[in-house]
């Protein structure tokens, strides 16, 4: 177990480093140099001393590989640089935006999981074929609808028509709930589809027939045996879903005017504020990597079969011959 844990941790750190390196290379290769543009902006002049400090900080007078190593050095010290637009520390801007995004993505993840569980549970337990067939089509419908269209639909219906929340009030709890709902609907689709297929597969296992012959009820079989054994594939999708939620925050926060990482990203891209963009990319990659790392670590804890398989596959120690 400890070997598996350390191996997964090393893989997660490697993926995080590769994501940072790839984002740095892509931003470095763009044809426009926003730092030079910022220094030469006549509407927002920079003193020669500040210009020299910025050039020295980012190492623009050094080769590309030295700039990259310098950025890694700053990163290991917890220094994300300075915004080219406002001059604030990037860590300060990110710290202001992260709580709002955590609220939105966390609530969206809860809604997505609950919605997927409700759909799959009703499909598994209902005796109405029409309802079952209708619910089986919902994941395909949700995944085909763009998130920005869902956000606009939620605002139009629940804010403008029904007046249940104010679309531009980011402090209202109702605004957070409906924004999370708009994120959760398309994200719940792959989770529900995978869980539904896994549940149907478990229902064909011989132990289910044995439980039925012993007189166990349908709800008891589903909750205590089928659903538990069907969770493993859904856990893997859940890790990917978390990364999708972070990406969806860019769209949702812009539509609902929420001051989170998504809104910060939109502003930074519009102003070509590269240090902020790279910090947001790093945070999104870290969220994706951490979510998948947690899923990998949880696999042997949730399913004893995985733990037993690793124990069996581990070679036995050789006996010494005296």
Spatial CA neighbour of 107 closest among 165, 43, 187: 187
Q: How far apart are CA 223 and CA 241, in angstroms?
A: 23
Position of tokens 């132990």? 207
Q: State phi, psi for 82 to the nearest 5 degrees.
A: -125, 145
Q: How far apart are CA 253 and CA 261, in angstroms?
A: 8
Q: How far apart are CA 58 and CA 265, in angstroms?
A: 21
Q: Look over the chain and give the mean of its residue pLDDT values, rounded to a whole number.
A: 78
Give 287's pLDDT tier (boundaries 50, 70, 90): confident
Q: How far apart are CA 206 and CA 197, in angstroms?
A: 17
Count Cβ atoms within 10 A of the Cβ of residue 245 and give its class: 0-12 exposed, 13-18 middle, 19 or more buried: buried
| 277-296 average pLDDT score | 83
Residue ranges with strand state E in the chain: none
Spatial CA neighbour of 278 closest among 91, 12, 105: 91
Structure tokens at 227: 């659903």
| 262-275 average pLDDT score | 82
The model's pLDDT over 146-203, given as tens digits with 9 standing for 90+, comes to: 777 777 787 777 777 776 666 665 666 777 888 888 888 888 888 888 888 888 888 8
Give the Å distances, CA to CA, from 149 to 125, 189, 248.
32, 16, 12
Kind and range of the H or E element at 162? none
Work out the end-to-end distance of the chain between its first and last CA atoms, rounded to an integer number of angstroms. 31
The model's pLDDT over 1-49, given as tens digits with 9 standing for 90+, comes to: 577 778 878 888 888 888 888 888 877 776 656 566 666 666 666 666 7
Spatial CA neighbour of 142 closest among 112, 187, 197: 187
Comparing 296 with 321, the larger pLDDT belongs to: 296
Taking the C-alpha atoms of 84, 86, 92 and 98 in order, what is their torsion angle to the nearest 10 degrees?
A: -90
| 262-285 average pLDDT score | 83
Give 260's pLDDT tier (boundaries 50, 70, 90): confident
Q: Is the dihedral of CA 93, 95, 100, 102 positive or negative?
A: positive
Structure tokens at 194: 């995978």
CATH numbers and ranges of domains, the chain: 90-302 (1.10.3720.10)
The model's pLDDT over 122-146, given as tens digits with 9 standing for 90+, comes to: 888 888 888 888 888 877 777 777 7
**Do residues 295 and 235 make contact, with C-beta atoms less than 8 angstroms apart?**
yes
Which 3 state secondary structure label does DSSP give 82? Answer: strand
Q: Which of 35-44, 52-61, 192-201, 254-263 is predicted least confidently?
A: 35-44
Give 290's pLDDT tier (boundaries 50, 70, 90): confident
The model's pLDDT over 62-105, given as tens digits with 9 standing for 90+, comes to: 777 777 888 888 888 878 887 877 778 888 898 888 888 888 88
User: Between helices 90-125 and 129-144, what is the axis angle to 10°?
Assistant: 160
């Amino acid at each position: 177990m400890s070997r598996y844990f350390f191996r997964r941790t090393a893989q997660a750190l490697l993926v995080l480093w590769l994501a940072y390196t790839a984002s740095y290379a892509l931003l470095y290769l763009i044809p426009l140099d926003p730092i030079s543009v910022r220094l030469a902006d006549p509407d927002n002049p920079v003193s020669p001393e500040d210009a020299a400090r910025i050039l020295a900080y980012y190492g623009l007078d050094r080769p590309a590989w030295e700039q990259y190593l310098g950025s890694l050095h700053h990163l290991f010290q917890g220094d994300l640089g300075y915004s080219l637009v406002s001059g604030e520390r990037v860590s300060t801007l990110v710290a202001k935006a992260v709580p709002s995004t955590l609220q939105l993505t966390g609530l969206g993840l809860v809604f997505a999981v609950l919605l997927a569980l409700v759909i799959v549970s009703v499909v598994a337990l209902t005796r109405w074929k029409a309802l079952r067939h209708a619910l089986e089509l919902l994941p395909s419908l949700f995944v085909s609808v763009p998130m920005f269209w869902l956000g606009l639909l939620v605002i139009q219906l629940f804010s403008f028509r029904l007046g249940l929340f104010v679309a531009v009030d980011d402090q209202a709890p109702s605004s957070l709930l409906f924004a999370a709902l708009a994120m959760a609907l398309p994200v719940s689709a792959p989770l529900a589809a995978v869980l539904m297929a896994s549940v149907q597969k478990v229902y064909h296992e011989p132990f289910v027939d044995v439980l039925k012959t012993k007189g166990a009820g349908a709800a008891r079989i589903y909750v205590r045996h089928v659903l538990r054994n069907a969770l493993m594939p859904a856990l893997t999708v859940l890790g990917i879903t978390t990364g999708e939620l972070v990406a969806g925050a860019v769209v949702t926060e812009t539509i609902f005017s929420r001051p989170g990482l998504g809104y910060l990203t939109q502003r930074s891209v519009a102003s070509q504020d590269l240090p902020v963009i790279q910090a947001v990319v790093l945070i999104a990659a870290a969220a994706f990597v951490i979510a998948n790392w947690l899923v990998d670590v949880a696999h042997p804890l949730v399913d004893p079969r995985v733990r037993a398989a690793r124990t069996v596959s581990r070679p036995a120690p050789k006996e010494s011959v005296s």
